[in-house]
Amino acid sequence: MPPTNDTPELFDKVFSPKAEKRIYTVSEITQDIKILIENTLAEVWVEGEVSNVRPSSAGHYYFSLKDEHALLQAVMFNRAAGAAKFKLEDGQKVVCFGNVEVYPPHGKYQLIIEKIEPKGIGSLQLALEQLKAKLEKEGLFAPSHKRPIPYLPSRIGVVTSLQGAAVKDILKVLDSRFKDVHIVIRPAKVQGELAKDDIAQGIRDLNTYNEDSDAAARIEVMIVGRGGGSIEDLWAFNEEVVARAIYHSTIPVISAVGHERDWTIADLVADVRAATPSVAAELVIPKKEDLSVRVDEFAGDLKKTLQDLVQSLRQAMGDLEHRFFLSMDHVVSGKEEAIKAVFRHLTLLNPVAKIQHCADRISSLTNELCLHVGHFIQMRQAGYRRAVEKLANLSPLNILGRGYSITFTVPHGAIVKDTAVLKSGDVIKTRLHKGEIISKITGVDKDGGDKI
């Protein structure tokens, strides 16, 4: 830009031949430089390579722009950063629009960026490639995650605008094929800043609808899309929030965005990609006429198969019948001798003879048992008599009969074995062979001498 009337007095004096000597403060010099640079470079386009990107928690981006000869500090505040369609990374070649500002406290200048575009490729295309690479790395495009579309679903969900041609095309195709199909439409913005969140929420709403419904009322497949347009018009279907909503949907999703030549991130994540909304409807519901033709073909094939099967069964039954009668004759003639042999064997095994043999055996065993029991009792009785005699010989009463006696204390009845337990005046009881004597002690010889 050409110099303005705001050019600092400093530069007028510096380049004036009659300038008088003057000493400036640092602040004055810096302020004059600030005025000069900011007035001169108020609106500039700058091309360079991005270096040392430092995003902040507030959403600002601090980085450098460089070429082979110089480096320029730059900052892009959150408002401008939010408007950028691509992610800023080191090494990118970019073209920036903004103004140069001086920060007096540090004596530094930097480019305040208002707009930024990638050099050599559009920002939307770069953003698309960046998001595509990110989601592919996470597995959102993996074939293993894609589910089959149900055949002849009774309930179909649609997420699109009610004002667009897409919903009309979908309804027209479905109505021409099966009029009794139940369609649940969740209206959504499909263009503009609010479209991405509305589409994503629409997908989530239909999933919530299924969670709150009985099995018979649940949506079996979902169509998400819109009619054709520019890349900017279709951009909502390239947003990450829409891609993740499709990926996490429990309802199989058909993406139907734009025309056949248009491809979006939603197409890559969806279970099936349809070239247009009309094609999506055709994929969901085949033509009734086509189904009738297929049913007729199946019926004809089934009839012929059954006829062939019946004919085969008749032939097989005839063969089996002939073989059965031949086998029966052979079996009957072969089994007659076997039956006779079995009869003879059964005669030998007559139960009456077996019972008589068992009865004789029982009688013999009973006699043997009686003999053994009698002998056992006699042995026990002899042993008992010997034990009684032995006990009688050891009985204290027999010992008393030989002239011995037993003395007890009165009244406790303890046997007296030692004179040490007695004293004069104690009463004792003496048991003889016949009868007892009650005595009162008048003296005790504790040394074992004669009794006093």
User: Are residues 122 and 203 both part of a single domain?
Assistant: no
Chain segment 46-104, per-residue pLDDT in tens: 888 888 999 999 999 999 998 889 999 999 999 988 888 788 888 888 888 899 999 88
User: Are residues 154 and 90 both part of a single domain?
Assistant: no
Helix axis angle, 165-177 to 277-284, nearest 10°: 30
CATH number at residue 244: 3.40.50.261
**Single pTM value for the model:** 0.48
Report, in this order, helix, strand and coil percent for the chain, each rounded to 5: 50, 20, 35
Let me know if residue 200 belongs to a domain.
yes
Let me know if residue 279 belongs to a domain.
yes
Number of structural domains found in the chain: 3
198: how many CB neighbours lie within 10 A of its CB?
18
User: Are residues 236 and 196 both part of a single domain?
Assistant: yes
Let me know if residue 165 belongs to a domain.
yes
Q: Is the dihedral of CA 33, 39, 42, 47 positive or negative?
A: negative
Radius of gyration of the chain (CA): 59
Whole domain around residue 22: which residue ranges?
Answer: 9-128
User: Are residues 18 and 119 both part of a single domain?
Assistant: yes
**Residue 90: burial class (beta carbons within 10 Å; 0-12, 13-18, 19+):** exposed
User: Are residues 82 and 167 both part of a single domain?
Assistant: no
**β-pairing verdict for 61-66 and 71-76:** antiparallel
Higher pLDDT, 268 or 435: 268
User: Are residues 95 and 188 both part of a single domain?
Assistant: no
Let me know if residue 309 belongs to a domain.
no
Give dist(CA 222, CA 207) in Å, integer: 10
H-helix segments, 231-287: 240-247, 265-269, 277-284
Domain's final residue, options 234, 254, 286: 286
**β-pairing verdict for 93-103 and 44-55:** antiparallel
User: Are residues 20 and 68 both part of a single domain?
Assistant: yes
Domain's final residue, options 128, 155, 175: 128
Chain segment 130-164, per-residue pLDDT in tens: 888 899 999 999 999 999 999 889 999 999 999 98
Chain segment 344-380, per-residue pLDDT in tens: 777 767 677 677 778 888 888 888 888 888 888 888 8
289: how many CB neighbours lie within 10 A of its CB?
9
In this predicted structure, what is the pLDDT of residue 121? Answer: 59
User: Are residues 34 and 64 both part of a single domain?
Assistant: yes
User: Are residues 120 and 241 both part of a single domain?
Assistant: no
Give dist(CA 379, CA 423) in Å, integer: 54
Tokens matching residue 409? 């204390």
User: Are residues 268 and 222 both part of a single domain?
Assistant: yes
Query: Does an H or E element contain 323, and which?
Result: helix 288-348
User: Are residues 235 and 103 both part of a single domain?
Assistant: no
